[in-house]
Amino acid sequence: MLTLTRVEETALAGTMAETALNKNAGGDTGRPRVSREKRETVGTITVENPRMVCRNVNVYYGDKQAIRNLSIEIGRNEVLAMIGPSGCGKSTFIRCLNRMNDTIDGCRVTGEIVLDGVNIYDRNVDVVPLRAQVGMVFQKPNPFPKSIYENVAYGPRIHGLARTQAELDEIVETSLMKAGLWEEVKDRMGQPGTGLSGGQQQRLCIARTIAVNPEIILMDEPCSALDPIATSVIEDLMLELRNQYSICIVTHSMQQAARVSQRTAYFHLGDLIEVGPTERIFTNPRHQLTQDYITGRFG
């Protein structure tokens, strides 16, 4: 099996848009692309044995509709990348998946988002355990103003996941190991988490999310504030974590989407325009708007 170096991976991802442009210029003999005026989702929104099912989701901020009639399923053990120009609804949608939009005044969500057979917007659903099941890593690292140990131990402690101190210690160590941070911090667990580098802080936040046994991890542009080396570490970590979790990532980097995801969803002005296997989306998109975006005509 051939193994691509990081530089080669980046070069490959960077040429995907060129490949799509060349196919279009040469008169692709496949099916014609859907025109820009058609807003219905192109591609297969369903997956086998989904972890989460979203149907006819609409999001409103006051009178303004930010997401229109969006349906998609999130698979097990996959990374789903959400791409599109700024303001297209990516972050709004990902925040719906654990009801983070509940904290925004005037925000209203309709439709169904089903996790483990339960609509998470049912009035009887408690958002505290929901946000443990569907954890979120934000754009900017946000460690608690506590020690490295307490940053990871806080969640399991308040959710009652550890009966003894030994069990809590094990959860903390295991979570830091999964986040690829244990070897770097094991001798300074009592030091503030805010004293770590940006990349280490983001991995600490990932460890904090893992510690409460989530089913899905949401990442809203997790590498936008990091340097290339820290970004590479986080991307490698995502590829490892997908063996245990479902991961949804919002990213403005098409190269990053190409490197880490198995499926990609393209958003445009509140609509889910296209979804499908990442390689196909970047080399042979079926919608003209997707083609325009990945070839740099807008966005």
Q: Which residue has the tokens 């990349």?
A: 199
Q: Which residue has the tokens 């580098």?
A: 197
Sign of the C-alpha dihedral, residues 158, 218, 67, 78? negative
Q: What is the pTM of this model?
A: 0.87
Q: How do beta strands 246-250 and 79-83 pair?
A: parallel
**pLDDT band at residue 30 under the 50/70/90 scheme:** low
Helices and strands per DSSP (H, E), number in the chain:
11, 10
The pLDDT value recorded for residue 9 is: 45
The mean predicted confidence, pLDDT, of the chain is: 89
Q: 81 and 265 in contact (C-beta within 8 Å)?
A: yes
Q: 90 and 83 in contact (C-beta within 8 Å)?
A: yes
Whether 20 shows a pLDDT value over 50: the answer reads no
Whether 132 shows a pLDDT value over 80: the answer reads yes
Amino acid at residue number 201: Q
Mean pLDDT in residue range 154-177: 95
| Dihedral class, residue 62 (left if φ above 0, else alpha if ψ from -120 to 50, else beta) | left
Mean pLDDT in residue range 30-38: 81
Per residue in 244-260, pLDDT (tens digit) is: 999 999 999 999 999 99
Rounded Cα distance, 100 and 95, in Å: 5
The pLDDT value recorded for residue 18 is: 47
Whether 200 shows a pLDDT value over 90: the answer reads yes
**Residue among 70, 69, 73, 71 at smallest CA distance from 46:** 73
